Amino acid sequence: MQNKLDFLIERVQKQNPQANIRKIRAAYECAAAAHEGQKRRNGEPYIIHPVAVAEIVVEMGLDTDSICAALLHDCIEDTQFGYKEIENKFGTAVVELVDGVTRLGMLRYSKVQEQFEDLRKMFLAMAKDIRVILIKLADRLHNARTFQFLPERKQRDKALETMEIYAPIAHRLGMSRIKWELEDLSLRILDPIGYSEIVEGLKAQSEQHEEFLQRIRTRIGGKLHEAHIEHTISTRVKHIYSIYRKMYAQHKTINEIYDICAVRVIVDTVADCYNVLGYVHDLYKPIPGRFKDYISTPKPNGYQSLHTTVIGREGIPFEIQIRTTEMHKMAEYGVAAHWKYKQGLDKRGNEEAFAWIRQLLEAQQDTEAEDFIKNIKVDLFADEVFVFTPKGDVINMPAGATPIDLAYAIHSAVGNRMTGAKVNGRITPIDSQLKNGDIVEILTAKEARGPSRDWLKIVKTTEARSKIKQWFKKECREENIINGHEDLDRELRANLIYNGFYDNEEVQRNTLNKFSFSTLDELYAAIGYGGITLTKVINKVKDDVGKLRRQRELAERAEQPRTVEQPHKRVTKSATGIVVEGIENCLVKFARCCTPIPGDEVVGFVTRGYGVSIHRRDCVNVHIQEDPDRWVHAWWDEDLASANRSNRFSTGLQISTRSRIGVLSEVTTVLAACKINVHDMSARDLNDGYGVINAMVDVLSVHQLDNLISRLRSIKGVVDVTRTVDTN
Ligand code: MN
């Protein structure tokens, strides 16, 4: 084992002379002790794995803490060696990295396809430190290299997980080297036949390829040498998974895929990149539309290069990538290049790198990574939180979600039986906010105890809220009705619409209809369990009561008769039983000429200084046309006029008789029998034995007067009875 360590140290020193070798040795000793006696599936001592992961981490160029964390990354999970001990020995930075890697390790492949997206997001979101992701990628890379030692089913699961989660993340981080290795290792498990077809095909053509590429190297190299451009040319056959995808997408066999060989020219400056491009296009015919300038427009993951596809002498197309050394490092190592080439990154450097990742994730509007990026752009770190169930399923919740939200997200039955929660193994208040990567266990009772009303104030998700309300709706109907009734009454009173609501069925019906309830109890219950807010109900009732009041006012106004002359004047009543339109509390007197009584059609005349004089409408003195402004509409208020029995009205009668003698006493007898008060009576003889009796009588109404008149007419000797109209 010692030589493994020496080899690692040697690599570290070469890569990073400032690394703390002593600390790395201590981490190795610690890991070796912790894993003592453990074996990998292939029979090797376990420590081989952490050392191999550390080597990849060194290759990525990460710092001392990352190397230590790589060596210790399986300790917390797999050995007695705990968090505290690592923290004491190696400090907070290292233990947090180890802890982060451990949490990422809890990510489980889920057979639900949609989970891939969540898992990728969570993967990125939960690592507070980008180094955690890089160490985890290194861990997965080494495991992928040794997939063949796993049981068959596990191989497939792990390979799929690698293909769907780890490789895309490596791609997002611009780490093409790790990406393609992960892809090829996974493909070998996922489609062994397709994989070996390509491997065999490439093997069969390898001599051809080698010759072909050799010729190109010579030709381009010669030209650039002549032009005095410093350069390095590397040639390669494209990696297996990219050929596989091409075959799959274009339905071709390996022999039909020409674009297999690739040439890379690395130069010192950007200007040289474009110079080289010019020379290449002189030597070979470019395929139109295949030139891509990723230098002026870098790929979303930061990749920069010039790409062109040209046709070789044999008519075989091949791709040439031209870039600077700097760009090449970025292309190979992506985000890790930040450590690799900017030694001694401090915390701030880490933040910068993180900012860079966010930026490039957010700036995505691009092509190939579109799917991945579409959903994570904005939400990635801010709006979402990803947590695990104890089984390792990942659940995506909005930021700020509590264990209650989670319980209801799992199932309403879980929420309703919830008694508490354990987060990362510890009992935690149910209103605490969940954090990325938390392992959350919902504690439940056998019987549903039901949620507490306070939970409505705690929960963050609408799903949980509506499920809690649902529960209250179902379980506590009686209580809800009582509470809701009380609440509603209180608010109705406060808004002065209590009677407006309860005295009016129409308002009640409208309110129930509006919120789709069929009974008041349903409404109370809904208020009680919080299915509807009081404000909504109160506003609706207010509206309705107001509307109804306005309608009534309008109806009252419409019922009132109007004069032609002054149709819109306001109405007033007087104690005399006369209503005069438009004049309040006016003095009313009855015209002596026509002596109107209740039941007569009347009209008012506005006198100068003596109030309104009331005439019978058929009075000879009424000439509305002559002075229209002074004639006002008036009518009897029957109730008022008859309210007081003593309220009598004087009117004049003229009784024509055939002979005076004897008739006068008869008339007097009838008047007395009818209890009519007579306060003025005169009789005079006319020629021919006819006579006339004039009398002023007090009556209650036209009705009584008509009655009187008909009785008078029935007196023998009475010719006619008329009401007097004084024409003077
Ligand atoms: Mn591991």
Please tell me the distance between residue 95's alpha carbon and the centre of ligand 1 in angstroms.
Answer: 15
Give the model's pLDDT for residue 363: 42
Whole-number Å distance between alpha carbons of 143 and 702: 115
**Residue 655: both structure tokens together:** 């009784």
Centre of ligand 1 from the C-alpha of residue 105, in Å: 8
How many angstroms separate the alpha carbon of residue 16 from the centre of ligand 1?
A: 23
Give Cα 374 to chain centroid, integer Å: 19
The CA 9 to ligand 1 mean position distance, Å, reads: 20
DSSP 463-506: HHHHHHHHHHHHHTHHHHHHHHHHHHHHHHHHTT-HHHHHT-HH
Q: Which of 86-100, 334-348, 368-382, 710-724 has the lowest mean pLDDT?
A: 368-382
Predicted pLDDT at 372: 35
Task: Count CB-CB contacts under 10 A for residue 42.
Answer: 10
- 639 pLDDT exceeds 90? no
> How distant is the alpha carbon of residue 312 from its chain centre?
57
Distance 22 CA to ligand 1 centre (A): 23
Separation of CA 700 from chain center: 75
Residues facing residue 692 across a β-bridge: 656, 684
**Positive/negative CA dihedral, 105, 111, 113, 118:** negative
Give the sign of the dihedral formed by CA 637, CA 643, CA 647, CA 648.
Answer: positive
Q: What does the pLDDT read at residue 366?
A: 40
Ligand 1 (single-atom ion) residues, CB below 5 Å: 74, 139
279-306 average pLDDT score? 86
Number of C-beta neighbours around residue 684 at 10 A: 9
Comparing 439 with 24, the larger pLDDT belongs to 24
**Other beta carbons within 10 Å of 670:** 16
Report the distance separating Cα 409 and Cα 384, nearest Å: 14
Closest CA to 337 of 364, 357, 321: 357
What does the pLDDT read at residue 1?
Answer: 63
Of 531 and 328, the one with more pLDDT: 328
Determine the distance separating the centroid of ligand 1 and the alpha carbon of 168, expressed in angstroms: 19
362-378 mean pLDDT: 37
Report residue 390 as tokens: 């104890």
Those residues with Cβ within 8 angstroms of residue 717's Cβ, 6 or more apart along the chain or in another chain: 657, 658, 659, 662, 663, 666
Helix (H) / strand (E) containing 261: strand 261-267
pLDDT tens digits, 152-211:
888 888 898 898 888 988 887 778 889 999 999 999 998 988 899 899 989 988 888 888
Contacts of 295 (CB under 8 A, 6+ apart): 270, 273, 304, 305, 306, 323, 327
Residue 68, both tokens: 């230590």
C-alpha to C-alpha distances, 247 to 81, 257, 320, 508, nearest whole angstrom: 49, 7, 20, 71
- pLDDT grade for 339, boundaries at 50, 70 and 90: low
State in Å: Cα 124 to ligand 1 middle.
Answer: 18
474-489: per-residue pLDDT in tens? 777 888 888 889 999 9
The token pair at 38 is 């453990």
Distance CA(617)–CA(620), nearest Å, equals: 9
CB-based contacts of 609, cutoff 8 Å, min separation 6: none
Q: By the 8 A CB rule, do 319 and 277 touch?
A: no
Nearest C-alpha neighbor of 69 from the set 47, 93, 49: 93
- Angle, vertex CA 550, rays to CA 549 and CA 552, nearest 5: 65
60 CA → ligand 1 middle, Å: 17
Instruction: Name, of 191-195, 632-636, 683-687, the range with top average pLDDT.
Output: 191-195
Does residue 42 surpass a pLDDT of 50? yes
Q: Residue 670 has which token pair?
A: 């009838």
Residue-level pLDDT at 135:
92
Checking if the pLDDT of 591 tops 50, the result is yes
Average pLDDT over residues 132-149: 92
Mean residue pLDDT of the chain comes to 81
Question: Is the pLDDT assigned to residue 394 strictly greater than 80?
Answer: no
Provide the token pair at 650: 């004087």
The confidence band for 305, taking pLDDT boundaries of 50, 70 and 90, is: very high
Is the predicted pLDDT of residue 266 greater than 90, yes or no?
Answer: yes
CA distance 332 to 81: 35
What sign has the CA pseudo-torsion 24, 30, 33, 36? negative
Q: Are 450 and 529 in contact (CB under 8 A)?
A: no
For 14-28, the pLDDT digits (tens) are 887 888 999 999 999
Strand partners, 693: 655, 683
Rounded to an integer, what distance in angstroms lies between the CA atom of residue 253 and that of residue 198? 9
Centre of ligand 1 from the C-alpha of residue 11, in Å: 20
pLDDT in tens, 524-581: 988 888 888 888 899 888 888 888 877 777 776 666 554 444 444 445 445 677 888 7
Token digits for 76? 């917390």
Are the beta carbons of 357 and 381 closer than 8 angstroms?
no
Q: 77 C-alpha vs ligand 1 centroid, how far in Å? A: 10
Residue carrying the six token digits 């790589």: 70
Q: How far is the CA of 496 from the centre of ligand 1 (A)?
A: 71
Average pLDDT over residues 275-304: 86
Return the H-helix or E-strand segment holding 507. helix 505-514
Per-residue exposure over 249-261, b if at least 16 CB sit within 10 Å of its own CB, e if not: eeeeebeebebbb
d(CA 557, CA 549): 13
Please check whether residue 654 is in contact with residue 599, taking contact to mean a CB–CB distance below 8 angstroms: no
**Structure-block tokens of residue 83:** 């968090």
pTM for this structure? Answer: 0.54
pLDDT exceeding 90 applies to what percent of the chain? Answer: 20
Quick check: 276 pLDDT over 90? yes
Among 194-208, 213-227, 672-686, the minimum mean pLDDT is found in 672-686
Q: Please classify residue 100 by burial: count the beta carbons closer than 10 Å to its beta carbon, then call 0-12 exposed, 13-18 middle and 19+ buried.
A: buried
Catalytic residue numbers read 77-78
Q: Distance, CA 126 to ligand 1 centroid (Å)?
A: 18
The structure tokens 């650039």 sit at: 224
Q: Which two tokens stand for residue 494?
A: 């406060």
Q: Report the 10 Å Cβ neighbour count for 383.
A: 10
539: left (phi over 0), alpha (psi -120 to 50) or beta: alpha
Q: Say if residues 205 and 198 touch (Cβ distance below 8 Å).
A: no
The total of other beta-carbon atoms located within 10 Å of residue 453's CB is 14
- Report the amino acid identity of residue 353: A
Q: Comparing 149-158, 218-227, 655-664, which segment has the lowest mean pLDDT?
A: 655-664
- Is pLDDT at 727 greater than 60 in this prediction? no
How confident is the model at residue 640, as a pLDDT?
64
CB atoms within 10 A of CB 420: 14
CA of 243 from ligand 1 middle (Å) equals 30
Strands 677-685 and 691-699 turn out to be: antiparallel
What pLDDT score does 600 carry? 86
User: Distance between CA 474 and CA 185 in Å, rounded?
Assistant: 55
Residue ranges of E strands in 354-416: 384-388, 394-398
94-105 pLDDT, tens per residue?
Answer: 998 898 888 877
Does residue 376 have a pLDDT over 70?
no
- From residue 118, alpha-carbon distances to 155, 178, 388, 406, 439 in Å are 22, 22, 11, 15, 16
Task: Please tell me what DSSP assigns to residue 287.
Answer: P
How far is 436 from 669, CA to CA, in rounded Å?
111
- According to the model, what pLDDT value does residue 61 have? 81
Residue 335's pLDDT band, with cuts at 50, 70 and 90, is: low
